[in-house]
């Protein structure tokens, strides 16, 4: 049985349709991503799953519970981390965790959780004095302290520096390894590719695609790109004439060749035959961003600033 089932979800605010016809099922022990640009309706979807919003249409089940009707039962099995806000600024880390632990009849050991999340040294630090990364780790701790079976994490790494972001990703994988099913909301393609077993791509409230990140990219048959550098200028015709090549562009010493098929080998062989010395040659693989472009016809707006 799927841990989270969403079927035909629809939600509107006034005249604006926020979510329309979104369906997916999250299996036990999965990290499932809801991916899309800002304003795509991702948060609305998880708010319906959390039971803080009531859908206009569609059916949702979390471990067999209806979030609108069985709110009290749902709260004991679902841990959530919200996109923004959480604690009074003068509340300290250890106090917050003890408080949240008291809400649950059974739960995790707060001390253990603090140690696991690298916050043991911050036990006496007020919430307002935590760094962004520390606050996010505390948010994860609070979402897990009731030992939930499902954790919903909304824009977990937004605003974190790359190092803190990677650390957080490692943590989420550890959480999944303890058997918790993770529903992850993100607008970061890189995060979805790195973490998620499967993703649903949402665009303007509608589902654009559902599958594994690798599967979605593979299904693209997207053009490939080969990049390399050369010391000396060379005649681009040696590449442009190849069957696999669709475009050759050179800017200063770097050349980017776009094409299909076994592009890397074709380019390498041609360069060698004409005595062109190429360095730093690499094949760029398609990303979920390319998948988004192919699915929606629009480039993906990361929207980090929003």
Which H/E stretch holds residue 19? Answer: strand 16-26
Q: Could you give the CA distance from residue 198 to residue 192 in angstroms, rounded to a whole number?
A: 8
Give the count of residues interacting with another protein (CB under 8 A).
Answer: 28
Backbone torsion region of residue 64, taken as left when φ is above 0, otherwise alpha when ψ lies between -120 and 50, otherwise beta = left
Both tokens of residue 138? Answer: 């505390």
* Near another protein in 32-91, by CB under 8 A: 50-52, 71-72, 75-76, 78, 80, 82, 84-91
Q: Helices 132-144 and 162-177 sit at what angle, rounded to 10 degrees? A: 10
Q: Contact region for another protein (CB under 8 A) — 23-31, 94-102, 220-228, 296-304?
A: 94-102
As measured in angstroms, the least distance from the Cβ of 234 to another protein is 58
State which residue, 3 or 286, has the beta carbon closest to another protein: 3
State which residue, 102 or 269, has the beta carbon closest to another protein: 102
The 192-231 contact track toward another protein, x by CB under 8 A, reads ----------------------------------------
Cβ neighbours around 202 below 10 Å, total: 25
Contact residue for another protein among 64, 69, 102, 274 (CB under 8 A):
102
Which has the closest alpha carbon to 66: 49, 47, 83? 49
* Near another protein in 124-153, by CB under 8 A: 142, 146
Q: Helices 132-144 and 93-102 sit at what angle, rounded to 10 degrees? A: 20
Tell how far CA 269 is from the center of its chain: 38
Sequential DSSP letters for 237-306: HHHHTSTTEEEEEEETTEEEEEESSSHHHHHHHHHHHTT--EEEEEEEPP-HHHHHHHHHSS-----TT-
Contact residue for another protein among 104, 211, 215, 289 (CB under 8 A):
104
As measured in angstroms, the least distance from the Cβ of 246 to another protein is 50
State which residue, 25 or 91, has the beta carbon closest to another protein: 91
State which residue, 46 or 208, has the beta carbon closest to another protein: 46
Q: Could you give the CA distance from residue 113 to residue 100 in angstroms, rounded to a whole number?
A: 12
As measured in angstroms, the least distance from the Cβ of 179 to another protein is 21
State which residue, 64 or 88, has the beta carbon closest to another protein: 88
Residue 37 backbone phi and psi in degrees, to 5: -70, 170
Q: Residues 6 or more apart from 78 whose CB is under 8 A from it?
A: 49, 50, 62, 148, 149, 150, 151, 152
State which residue, 90 or 282, has the beta carbon closest to another protein: 90
Which has the closest alpha carbon to 278: 246, 256, 247, 261? 256
As measured in angstroms, the least distance from the Cβ of 144 to another protein is 12
As measured in angstroms, the least distance from the Cβ of 52 to another protein is 6
Q: Does 283 bind another protein (CB under 8 A)?
A: no
State which residue, 96 or 239, has the beta carbon closest to another protein: 96
State which residue, 10 or 76, has the beta carbon closest to another protein: 76
Binding site residues, another protein, CB under 8 A: 50-52, 71-72, 75-76, 78, 80, 82, 84-91, 95, 98-100, 102-105, 142, 146
């Amino acid at each position: 049985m799927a841990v989270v089932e969403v079927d035909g979800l629809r939600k509107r605010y006034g005249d604006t349709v926020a979510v329309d016809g979104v369906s997916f099922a999250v299996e036990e022990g999965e990290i499932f991503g809801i991916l899309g640009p800002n304003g795509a309706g991702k948060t609305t979807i998880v708010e319906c799953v959390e039971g803080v919003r009531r859908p206009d249409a569609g059916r949702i089940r979390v471990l067999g519970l209806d979030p609108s009707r069985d709110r009290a039962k749902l709260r004991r099995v679902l841990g959530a981390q919200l996109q923004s806000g959480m604690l009074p600024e003068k509340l300290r880390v250890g106090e917050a965790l003890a408080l949240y632990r008291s809400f649950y009849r059974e739960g995790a050991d707060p001390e253990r959780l603090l140690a696991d999340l690298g916050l043991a040294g911050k036990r006496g630090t007020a919430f307002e004095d935590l760094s962004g990364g520390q606050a996010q780790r505390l948010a994860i701790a609070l979402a897990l302290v009731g030992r939930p079976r499902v954790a919903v994490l909304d824009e977990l790494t937004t605003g974190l520096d790359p190092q803190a972001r990677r650390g957080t990703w490692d943590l989420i994988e550890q959480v999944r390894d303890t058997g918790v099913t993770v529903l992850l909301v993100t607008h970061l393609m890189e995060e979805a590719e790195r973490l998620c077993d499967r993703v649903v791509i949402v665009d303007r409230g509608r589902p654009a695609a559902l599958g594994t990140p690798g599967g979605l990219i593979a299904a693209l048959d997207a053009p490939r790109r080969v990049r390399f550098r050369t010391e000396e200028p060379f005649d681009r015709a040696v590449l442009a004439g190849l069957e696999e090549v669709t475009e050759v562009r050179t800017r200063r010493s770097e050349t980017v060749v776009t094409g299909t098929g076994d592009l890397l080998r074709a380019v390498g062989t041609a360069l060698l035959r004409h005595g062109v010395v190429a360095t730093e040659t690499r094949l760029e693989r398609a990303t979920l961003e390319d998948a988004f472009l192919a699915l929606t016809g629009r480039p993906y707006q990361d929207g980090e600033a929003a």
